[in-house]
């Protein structure tokens, strides 16, 4: 029987798999990836607001199987429900993973994600023709078309409030989305 842990700590087996909904439009008010929550003890789960816990959620928990952290491409549930009430991906976690994926595409693979994590996150951003027959993202195709990939990322990707102390915060313009064809174009400057 397959077994894994979700990031909130709930054991997930092949007998009790549940559908996890996509990340919300914004991170929850008590999200541990919100910089304004770091060190706070007045949230429902203050234990998530420590640097040590964020490190464990990003990298992996020592008491769990190897490769369980976000940097390995693992899906993290929103911590608010600890796997009971919240049934959606953690918005902050998705944003951190996608930022590192875009950086890897732009900089030839340099990323805080593991290679496995990079492939997992890239796959979530791929279109059908960007995945080979083995189900692996064709990274060279994605790297050539980062602007198109940016149209598929979470809308909060450039939010500097979402972060991890070991990761580079977003730089101004780093994750700007290109205009879609048909988007309103700015009026030309008067002569």
Three-class SS state of 11: strand
Give pLDDT tens digits for 69-90: 899 998 888 876 544 466 789 9
- pLDDT score of 46 more than 90: no
Give pLDDT tens digits for 169-186: 999 999 988 776 544 444
Within 8 A by CB and 6+ apart from 171, the residues are none
Q: Give the C-alpha separation, 154 to 147, whole Å.
A: 14
Q: Is there a contact between 37 and 44 (Cβ–Cβ < 8 Å)?
A: no
Choice between 167 and 1, residue whose per-residue pLDDT is larger: 167
Average pLDDT over the chain, rounded to an integer: 79
Burial of 73 (0-12, 13-18, 19+ CB in 10 A): buried
Task: Characterize the bridge pairing of strands 11-13 and 3-5.
Answer: antiparallel
Average pLDDT over residues 47-52: 88
pLDDT the model gives residue 5? 42
- Give the largest Cα separation in the chain, rounded: 71
Question: What pTM did the predictor assign?
Answer: 0.79
pLDDT the model gives residue 10? 42
């Amino acid at each position: 029987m397959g077994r894994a842990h979700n990031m909130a700590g709930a054991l997930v087996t092949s007998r009790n798999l549940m559908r996890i909904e996509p990340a919300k439009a914004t991170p929850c008010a008590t999200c541990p990836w919100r910089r304004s929550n770091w060190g706070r003890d007045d949230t429902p789960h203050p234990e998530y607001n420590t640097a040590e816990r964020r490190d464990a959620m990003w990298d992996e928990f020592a008491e769990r199987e190897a490769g369980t952290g976000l940097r390995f491409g693992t899906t993290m549930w929103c911590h608010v429900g600890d796997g009971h009430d919240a049934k959606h991906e953690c918005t902050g976690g998705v944003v951190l993973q996608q930022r590192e994926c875009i950086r890897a595409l732009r900089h030839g693979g340099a990323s805080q994600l593991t290679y496995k994590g990079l492939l997992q996150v890239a796959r979530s951003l791929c279109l059908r023709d960007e995945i080979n027959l083995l189900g692996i993202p064709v990274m060279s195709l994605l790297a050539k078309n980062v602007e198109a990939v940016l149209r598929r990322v979470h809308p909060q990707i450039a939010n500097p409030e979402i972060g991890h102390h070991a990761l580079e915060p977003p730089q101004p313009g780093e994750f700007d989305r290109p205009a879609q064809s048909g988007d309103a174009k700015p009026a030309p400057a008067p002569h």
